[in-house]
Amino acid sequence: MAKSANLLFQQQLLNLGPPPGASPQVTQQLRLYGARLKSTNQSLQGLLSEPSDTASESAAKVKNAKAMVQVMAGQLQQAYDYLVRQNGDPELKQALRSNSTCRVVFG
């Protein structure tokens, strides 16, 4: 569920693009959040695709995956907070607050 929410939120951030009239600093920060999410997601996918031959390997894999998902949740929270705080567009703020993906991740 977290992975699906992450992918959907990434796509929605891409579709939104930088806020209208955003300063280069805001645009750069949003790109940074997107790059962090993409990197963590790729690491998680790599981990999940690795074979586990023993119970201890499986347990370690689950522990590592849990840690990565927690990192992703923190990254998503930072991106969400930044978008809501930095963008003065009330329509975008309402869209983010009412978005089903945002509710799943941040609710």
As a whole number of angstroms, the distance between CA 21 and CA 18 comes to 8
Residue 42 pLDDT exceeds 70:
yes
- For 64-107, the pLDDT digits (tens) are 888 888 888 787 777 777 777 765 567 666 766 777 766 666 65
Tell me how far apart the alpha carbons of residues 2 and 69 are, in angstroms, rounded to a whole number.
Answer: 7
92, 16 contact by CB (below 8 A):
yes
What pTM was computed for the model?
0.60
- Please tell me which residue, 63 or 20, carries the higher pLDDT value: 63
